[in-house]
Amino acid sequence: MARAAFFPTLNFAANAGYRNPDLGSLISTSSRAWSLGPSLAFSVFDGGQRRAAQADAEAALEQATLAYRQVVLTAFQEVEDNLVAASQLQDQAQALSEALVAAQRNLSLTQEQYKAGTVSYLNVVQAQTTALTAQRSLLDVQSRRVLALNLLMKNVAGAY
């Protein structure tokens, strides 16, 4: 629209009606009046107002373009961050799952050793603590992975 101000304005007007000073003969054919005509307007001097309006419009367009670009880049960054987080958390969950299996196997062996009388009950408690800590760590990583996947779905699919 700012560029359109540099061109002349062309208007077409048409009027039709009745015109007579005597109200009684207003509707007669001799009282009909009409006009038809174009008009052309062009501003010769505006003190730089059109150029300033065009510069403002171009600056607003540039600002909107940059804001949109930033939104798109932020969205891509969030998707990439959540993909990386989900992948890393999957690797951590796999390692913690293996650690949990080892801790549970250690607990089972320690309980057998306790039943055989070769270790004290303190060793059983320590093995239980290790197994429970491994389980809690695995659950924590799994919940963070689910959260990262949820954020990924939100970033990819929007607010749905």
At 99-131, the pLDDT tens digits run 999 999 999 999 999 999 999 999 999 999 999
Residue 26 per-residue DSSP state: T
Closest by CA position to 148, among listed 88, 99, 73, 58: 88
The answer, as to whether pTM is greater than 0.95, is: no
Task: Give residue 26's pLDDT.
Answer: 58
Distances (CA, A) of 46 to 4, 39, 49, 55: 14, 20, 6, 15
Query: For residue 84, which of 140, 141, 145 has the smallest C-alpha distance?
Result: 145
Name the token pair of 114: 């306790």
Identify the pLDDT of residue 2: 64
Tokens of 60: 């607003």
Dihedral angle sign, alpha carbons of residues 90, 95, 101, 103? negative
Give the model's confidence band at 29: pLDDT under 50 very low, under 70 low, under 90 confident, else very high: low
pLDDT given for residue 41 in this prediction: 72
